[in-house]
Amino acid sequence: MEIQEIVLKQQEFFNTQKTKNLKFRKMYLEKLRDLILENENLLNEAIYKDFGKSKFDTFTTEISFILKDINYYLKNLNALAKPKKVRTNLSNQIGNSKIYSDPLGCVLVIGAWNYPYQLSLSPIIAALAAGNCCILKPSEIAENTMKAMSKIINENFPPEYLYVFEGGIDETTELLKLKFDKIFFTGSTKVGKIIYKAAAEHLTPVTLELGGKSPVIITKDANLEVAAKRIIWGKFLNAGQTCVAPDYLLVEESIQEQFLEMLRNQIKEFKYEPDSEQYTRIINQKNFHRLIKLIDKEKIYFGGNYNEEKLYIEPTILTNIKWEDDVMQEEIFGPILPVILFKSFNQTLNYLIELEKPLSAYLFTNNSEEKEAFTQKLSFGGGCINDVVMHLGNDNLPFGGVGNSGMGNYHGKFGFETFSHQKPVLEKATWGEPNIKYPPYSEKKLSWIKKLL
């Protein structure tokens, strides 16, 4: 079936109003949950083939997020979809005002390869919960996971409601020529600009989940042992191929030797070895060679070894890094951790303010003034104080970027709202209306209107 035909059928199906029924939405969310659980082995095998991700990491960073999202919407869908009554102002009395959450229609979700299940299916789940029809275009870079999702969904869901479209750049280009009611994209800033431009041709609203160089600031007032453990875990999770991973460290000069030693010891303790369960390989040759070029051998503090055949890059810490170094010119998206030293927290913060706004930012300190300055002065998509990455796990927090790191957000109620139109409706009584707004006008009427404002 041609993709144009499927999109047309989805538009026609949406107009039947069936997806607005909450029982209908819950039925298919439950169906998707059951299919994920029934096909967990298939999903594990596919992602292992793509880049060696273990069952443990696949569940904790992919499957668990998807199941949690489904359970959240099953539990909260009635409340989310219920019209919200709001205050009616004096000039609109006698009346009542409500906001209705309307599904947008036919939605296109373009997923990413680094967390191919989570970053494809989590937005799909939010879109279905909001009452939309969906086309999913997973990343072709993780080919086996793309085929696994296609098999599970296309064999069990009506295509006029949910369909997975396989393919690469050419297929995505064809998709973007079609009119959708919403496009949701996760990927690089460069591709995000292409998506945004294509969407503008149809005035299609977009949510762009992009990336950037997410900084981590560690001051002398931090709990260094906790900081080292959490940073190493968050940085080298998925071999650094995480959009919210710490990109580089800013370490106060007075603690550098002590903290660097802690980082090195933590890497050794976690045993990030080739073929180990807790470490994935780099997704492909292209990304492998891109990363190797970023390792300046003269600045290696720890690591630097690699195996091209296994697409393995040892966790690598680089020191004596300057802002103009190659590794600081782009998002690393791999297991390389540059360290920059600083003397003044405030000067460092002021420097970061001048840079592109990152998807995430992190601070390790127990100094309340530093915490306040970090949260109030620095603009970033989301972040943590005294942790990294974990803000993604809270359904009550929106996840999304700002500036070059993206626009729009999702997770929990924010995902429901992302795929909904907030439709305001004012209902007026047909009795008791004053004549003040109607012609003929007079100074007396104007005087009363001014008093009512």
Q: Catalytic amino acids?
A: 209, 243
DSSP 334: S
To the nearest 10°, the Cα dihedral for 245, 310, 111, 163?
Answer: -150
Spatial contact of 98 and 425, defined as CB atoms under 8 Å apart: yes
Prior bond of 94 cis (ω within 30°)? yes
Q: DSSP assignment of 274-321, as one string? A: TT-TT-PPPS-HHHHHHHHTT--GGGEEE---EETTTTEE--EEE-S-
Q: CA–CA distance from 387 to each of 136, 163, 254, 321, 342 (Å)?
A: 32, 37, 21, 23, 20
CA atoms of 359 and 217, how far apart (whole Å):
15
Q: List residues bridging with 400 in a β-sheet.
A: 409
Question: What Cα–Cα distance (Å) separates residue 37 from each residue in 134, 154, 219, 263?
Answer: 21, 16, 44, 37
What's the rounded Cα separation, in Å, for the pair 279 and 160?
39
Q: Which two tokens stand for residue 292?
A: 């190797």
Reported in sequence order, the residue ranges of 379-445 that DSSP labels E, i.e. its strands, are 382-385, 399-400, 406-407, 409-410, 420-428
Q: How far apart are CA 288 and CA 307, in angstroms?
A: 10
Contacts of residue 314, defined as CB under 8 A and 6 or more positions apart, other chains included, come to 272, 303, 304, 305, 306, 335
Q: Which residues contact 272 (CB under 8 A, 6 or more apart)?
A: 236, 278, 279, 314, 315, 335
CB 117 within 8 A of CB 43: yes
Give the separation between CA 298 and CA 403, rounded to whole angstroms: 34
Sole residue written with tokens 């939605």: 107
Which run of H or E residues covers position 416? helix 412-418
